[in-house]
Amino acid sequence: MNIGTQIQKIRRKNNISQGQLAKDCGITQTYLSLIEHNKRDPNISLLKVITAKLNIPLSLLLLMSLDKEDIPEDKSEFFSEIAPEISPIIISLLLK
């Protein structure tokens, strides 16, 4: 899963600085940077805070964070074909 990468994309799409989101979530900017670069895995409580501040459902973040390694091998080819098409659609429909 690429949760951090998706957090960063959504944050940037909403024109929120990393420092502001970190402050709003009660964490340091350094820690948020580590999350966004997939070097730290936030716990579920923090993910709930982050998604609330980004105004998106946690389930949407998790869905958008799936990558090929998360998909069963027999479905990975199909996932590889549709994933690049689905993510931008979801983002445009549900984000500012």
Q: Which pair of structure tokens corresponds to residue 48?
A: 């709930």
Sign of the C-alpha dihedral computed for residues 47, 72, 80 and 86 taken in this order:
negative
Looking at every residue in the chain, the average pLDDT score rounds to: 89
Q: What is the pLDDT of residue 17?
A: 98
Q: What is the pLDDT of residue 64?
A: 85
**Residues sharing a CB contact under 8 Å with residue 53, sequence separation 6 or more, in sequence order:** 16, 21, 24, 25
DSSP state letter for 47: H
Count the neighbouring beta carbons within 10 Å of the beta carbon of residue 56: 20
Q: What is the pLDDT of residue 71?
A: 83
Residue pLDDT, tens place only, 20-62: 999 999 999 999 999 999 999 999 999 999 999 999 999 889 9
Q: Which pair of structure tokens corresponds to residue 17?
A: 């600085």
- Over 90: is that where the pLDDT of 81 sits? no
Q: What is the separation of C-alpha 72 from the centre of its chain, rounded to a whole number of angstroms?
A: 21
pTM of the complete model: 0.82
Q: What is the pLDDT of residue 95?
A: 59
Rounded Cα gap, residues 96 and 83, in angstroms: 21
In angstroms and rounded to an integer, the radius of gyration of the C-alpha atoms of the chain is: 14
